[in-house]
A and B are shown apart, each in its own frame.
Chain A
Amino acid sequence: MKANSKKQDASQMLDGNRAAALGAKLCRVQVVAAYPITPQTPVTEALSEIVERGELQAQYVTVESEHSAMAVCSSASLVGARTFTATSSHGLAYMHEMLHWVAGTRLPVVLACVNRAIGAPWNVLNDLQDSMSQRDTGWIQMYARNNQEILDQIIQAYRIAEKAYLPVMVCYDGYTLSHTDMPVDVPSQDAVDGFLPPYKAHTILDPTNPKNYNLVTLANPRLNAEGVLCHGYMEIRYLLQEALEKSKEAIASVGREFGDLFGRSYASLLWEDMMEGAEIAIVATGGLAMEAIVAAEMLRRDGIRAGVIGLRVFRPFPRADVLRALQGCRLAVVFDRSISYGNEGTACSETKAALYGTGTNMRVHGFIVGLGGRDVKARELAGAVKRTLSLTDRGALNSESPEWVCEI
């Protein structure tokens, strides 16, 4: 963080949920629809209080489920309102159908996902299985490592969403961030207003110019009543993919502009620490990247040139950035708090895919850690890296399936 952050910033002690709610308030969201679930609940309570006290002119719809929360956000966004919701775990899974729908409709809904393990069995603590299971829905996914990044990325999320016409999920760790107080620089309303203009909808609800959104659409292009060939389902879906790819530039430029205004730059889709001259990269998503920095420092003290690549943006996946960051490394050790069951850790697959076809001899090895809030200690990460390194040097590393850091 730069020392010259704008003087209108006021530092407050905030937990992650409060930071998320305050972020939404500063963005002047107009419709909020949310349903309580641990550990997201305080976001719904904080926003309710903000709206009931009249500190924010918004419609707060106290829905009866997360599916309805996202349906309310979807239709309210289509009307032209800036919308916000937050959820966790089972709530996000329950929204799954609507997540697809919102992305397919290209609506700039912003969702705070307070990452929590998913059942069965019941568990309310942190891992990333919930949001990673939604990676294929067409949403931008950004992750935060601390409460400042939660607030900052929610503000950026609206700029990105409304520029790219894509929904954005801002994800942060349950409890370790959501319920932990940290100092957060809170920008003034004027400063946020300067950064984020009011939303101008690309959708039209006007009886004199009636539009029918999301009609049944055939696979192939089809003529309209004027004989003009219009997109088929595949063309519409292609445009969603294209928008995600193009959004990388928007994410970076919005992050850069945010840095210019607020003194905290988000110009990169990655966080890179100690990667200069690193021969071993530790790859982690979200808050785990902080623990990885401590691990890398331990390894450096032992003479191992380790660095950290933190995935701030997971969708769109920053392939080129990862590839550039990994240049010069001979080993990437990926720590995942989510897994594609029957295959391997989520970020591990992505890292391997980014490297495919580059002719590299780099080894990529994956560990599954920290599921269901299992504590992840820096020394465990460092130990795992050392073991992997030793096996690599002996030519005995088997990366066929991920290693689990647990008692089995």
Chain B
Amino acid sequence: MSRVNAVNLTDKEYLLPGNRLCPGCAVSLAYRHILKALEGQAVVTVPASCLTVLHGMYPVTSVTVPCVNTPFASTAASAAGLSAGLKALGRTDLTVVAIAGDGGTHDIGIQALSGAAERQDDFVYICYDNEGYMNTGNQRSGSSPLGTISGTTPVLGKQQHQKDVVAIMEAHRLPYVATASASYPLDLYDKVRKARSMKGLRFIHVYTPCPPGWGFPFMDTIGIGEMAVQTGWNVLYEVEEGAFRLSPASQSVAEKGGLRPVRELVALQGRFANLTEDKIQALQDWVTGRWQRYLARTGS
């Protein structure tokens, strides 16, 4: 499948200008390119999340594809229902796409997601990960990193590392697992397009920096996402039918000989203001260890 570039990317928009998300929100950018890759031929299902806010308030919506809102825990089950219903009615024109945040994926939604993955239900599941419950005003989630200051880790910071939900999903032996970043929207576009062409449960994780939740200026979103890739905090890759491949941005980091220190990334974010040296080292060890495992999988 050929790669899209800034010249041949479609001008057609499925996300209308103006929505209720915060300035600088990575979710708007990611969702815009996800919908472009789907060419509008999709039905999306969304749990309570920042994306609900993006979709608007009845009777006005910023989105021009059919959407089925669903309670928090049920994203994957809703997608399974849409998929089963469309199949029962003999409709093959629509791709079912479930889109949830990290709270809706790593935490409350993981039971339904794991069930659907084990059944190999036919839909694309996209987790946009802003590493916390940002829609409710920034509380810790299973995806919040060690040391994060949040509404529910206000003084000491989070005491545990993130849950590696992509590895959990890969363990379900899915036909397609990929990681992406809002800072690399064309890569995200390509991955959604590829997932769309496949069957079974396809899982895409999208890193979406959150200016108010993470505590950085809203004009820095893209830069934060880029630095996350350069530090190995966010590694972009695909696992297609079990075959692991680094995506261009992370491949380039590997080829240039190494990661920038995690210290540079956390220094830009207010949520890490209280990090002690040993916590920074623990985060660095966590990132480096994972990076080495990815490199080992590429065979380099």
Interface residues of A (CB under 8 A from B): 30-31, 33, 57-59, 61-65, 67-69, 71-81, 83, 97-98, 101, 204-207, 210-218, 222-225, 228, 230
Contacts and interface: CB of A to CB of B under 8 A. Distances in A.
Given A71-B71, A213-B69, A215-B69, A79 B89 contact: yes
B40 A58 contact: no
B68 interface: yes
B69 A212 contact: yes
Contact of B67 (A67, A98, A210): A210
Contacts of B79: 75
A30 B114 CA distance: 24
B112 A207 contact: no
Interface stretch (B41-49, B154-162, B238-246, B282-290): B41-49
Contact of B84 (A61, A97, A222, A230): A61
A75 B82 contact: yes
A214 B114 contact: no
- Interface hub of A68, A78, A101, A222 (most chain B Cβ within 10 A): A68
Nearest to A214: B69
Nearest 8 interchain pairs by C-beta: A79-B85, A64-B115, A75-B81, A76-B85, A68-B77, A71-B77, A71-B74, A72-B81
Nearest to B87: A59
B137 interface: no
Nearest to B64: A210
A68 B116 CA distance: 10
Interface string B177-214: 00000000000000000000000000000000000000
A212 B55 contact: yes
Nearest to B119: A62
Given A64-B112, A72-B84, 9 more contacts: A59-B84, A61-B121, A75-B80, A78-B68, A78-B82, A83-B85, A217-B58, A222-B59, A228-B59
A68 B78 CA distance: 8
A67 B70 contact: no
Contacts of B119: 61-62
B130 to A, nearest CB: 19
B66 A211 contact: yes
A210 B89 CA distance: 18
B255 to A, nearest CB: 41
A212 B63 contact: yes
Contact of B58 (A64, A73, A207, A222): A222
Contacts of A81: 84-85, 88-89
Nearest to B70: A71
A77 B85 contact: yes
- Interface hub of A80, A101, A214, A217 (most chain B Cβ within 10 A): A214
A28 to B, nearest CB: 10
Contacts of B59: 215, 222-225, 228, 230
Given A215-B69, A216-B52, A225 B60 contact: yes
Contacts of A204: 66
A67 B66 contact: no
B16 to A, nearest CB: 10
B62 to A, nearest CB: 9
A65 B67 CA distance: 24
A16 B50 CA distance: 45
12 contacts: A61-B80, A67-B77, A68-B76, A69-B77, A71-B80, A78-B81, A81-B84, A97-B73, A216-B52, A216-B58, A218-B57, A225-B59
Contact of B74 (A58, A98, A224): A98
A223 B56 CA distance: 13
B74 A76 contact: no
Contacts of A230: 58-59
A222 B58 CA distance: 8
A33 B119 CA distance: 13
Given A63-B80, A67-B77, A75-B45, A207 B40 contact: yes
Contacts of B86: 79, 205
A78 B85 contact: yes
B142 to A, nearest CB: 19
A61 B115 CA distance: 10
Contact of A80 (B45, B53, B89, B118): B89
A212 B88 CA distance: 22
B111 interface: yes
Interface in B64-111: 64-71, 73-74, 76-82, 84-89, 91, 94, 111
Nearest to A29: B88
Given A207-B94, A216-B57, A79 B82 contact: yes
A225 B64 CA distance: 13
